[in-house]
């Protein structure tokens, strides 16, 4: 996450007003469009305030558009699903995350990256 985007997410997490939080998250999403950690932070916030349907949409959109830190999206999505009692779907999401993580590690080793 770039420092500007990271700063916006940190501010959104710290300020008290819900509408202010939403505007900071929205701006962070504009700047960090391919960064899973931004979508995860926003989806997790929506889950905490009880907007789980909207949170699910944020996690799903993040998985469609993000190329960085996708595993955090799977984790946040699974936590949201557990919070609403959908353990079966959460398990499916986590299994998918494990597979994707293994594939990414294998790709990095083949390409000589860590």
Instruction: List pLDDT tens digits, range 7-60.
Output: 777 777 777 777 778 888 888 888 867 888 889 999 999 999 999 999 999 999
- How high is the pLDDT of residue 12? 76
Task: Determine phi and psi for 107, rounding to 5 degrees.
Answer: -60, -45
Query: Is pLDDT at 75 greater than 70 in this prediction?
Result: yes
What average pLDDT does the chain have?
Answer: 84
Residue ranges making up the domain that contains 47: 3-110
CATH code for the domain of 66: 1.25.40.10
pTM for this structure? 0.78
* Tally of structural domains, the chain: 1
The pair of three-digit structure tokens given for residue 36, joined into one six-digit string: 């899973």
In the chain, where does DSSP find H-type helix? 3-14, 18-31, 36-48, 52-65, 70-83, 87-110
Which residue, among 18, 4, 10, 9, has the nearest Cα to 39 in the 3D structure?
Answer: 9
Structure tokens at 68: 């960085």
């Amino acid at each position: 996450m770039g420092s500007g985007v990271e700063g916006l997410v940190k501010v959104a997490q710290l300020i008290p007003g819900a509408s202010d939080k939403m505007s900071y998250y929205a701006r962070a999403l504009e700047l960090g469009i391919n960064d899973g950690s931004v979508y995860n932070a926003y989806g997790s916030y929506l889950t905490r305030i009880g907007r789980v349907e909207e949170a699910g949409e944020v996690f799903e959109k993040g998985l469609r558009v993000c190329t960085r830190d996708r595993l955090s999206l799977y984790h946040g999505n699974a936590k949201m699903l557990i919070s609403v009692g959908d353990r079966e779907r959460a398990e499916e999401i986590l299994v998918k995350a494990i597979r994707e993580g293994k594939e990414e590690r294998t790709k990095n080793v083949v390409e000589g990256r860590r």
